[in-house]
Structure 1
Amino acid sequence: MEKYQLSPKSWSQEIYIKALKKAAYAHQGQKMAGSEIPYLMHLNLVSMEVIAAISVETEHDGNLAIQCAILHDTIEDTNTTFEEIRTEFGESVANGVLALTKDENLAKHLRMADSLQRIKKQPQEIWMVKLADRITNLQAPPHYWTQDKIIRYREEGIQIYEALRDASPFLASRLAKLIEDYKAFIK
């Protein structure tokens, strides 16, 4: 049987599976906003964007990026703690997930700037997760969103793009296109 040698910056299916199992358990029963689609779909879409980027930008630590992509909402949206993530996945992953977690103690209009500031202190793989997250979320907005909410969401996308685009030209170009396309939802 032939052995395949991965580059040190590549990623491991076993690590992906471990993170996905953790996320599936943590997000069990949750649905994507405005749908009956299990929330796990969102996490898979974010990790797929990251995998696409690291397949062409091979200098990145794929394992760090993928684990944070899959686990990015666990602290924010489930009962999972920073300590749990650190124990199971290590300090770098836990710090990345924490940086990607909105600070609910801040006023809503301050959260994105705070989040971006914390993300920028992390390795660029964490930046990539935020880019991938917004790429995944810049689809047709839920039917119940107001025009004001749609406009603000697009503006946040621009803010994310401007702050984090240097981490991944691949993801930055995808996000820029989706920000442009999102204008179609503004009346």
Structure 2
Amino acid sequence: MLLNLIYNLKHAFILTFLKPIRHGRASRAEFWYANMASVICTFIGYIILKIADNQGFIVYYITLGMTMVMSIYAYFCGIMLLRRRVHDYGRSFLFIIIIYIAIWFLNFLISTVITTVSLTLLSGSFLTFLISNAIYYGLFGIKKGDKHYNKYGLSPYNNVNFRPLISKSGT
């Protein structure tokens, strides 16, 4: 089970971050494993940044600059993954843009309510974070894609790219 998890994370990392511009569709498994790989890479980057903080001013800012460049690249790769993910259920990239505009508008409304009701900024930011992530993972990570060919290509479910963590026999 652990070896399959490591294989799946490595495979998702390669598909998402080393080959981000691809055509076709992304399965839910690719979406979830890529997000897990992204969290692991972020955690490792945070640890490296904390270690560099103790090494001096110049080393810290060089490391911080490299971290920022990697974050921008990871954001681009995430957008490309989302593009393939919405293609899995027959939507175009325009769907992502509409969702992002809706989330930005929601953030604006919540920040307006925070200033009106005098809630703390932290509680408003946390509420915005929860709602945005619920929309993001609810729309893109849970919804099943088309089982058959659609206008964006073959079904990713026909390709066995990821190994199951639990076998059909339950062991």
TM-score (norm 1): 0.23
Higher relative contact order (CA 8 A, sep 6+): 2
TM (norm. structure 2) is 0.24
Q: Which of 1 and 2 has greater Rg?
A: 2
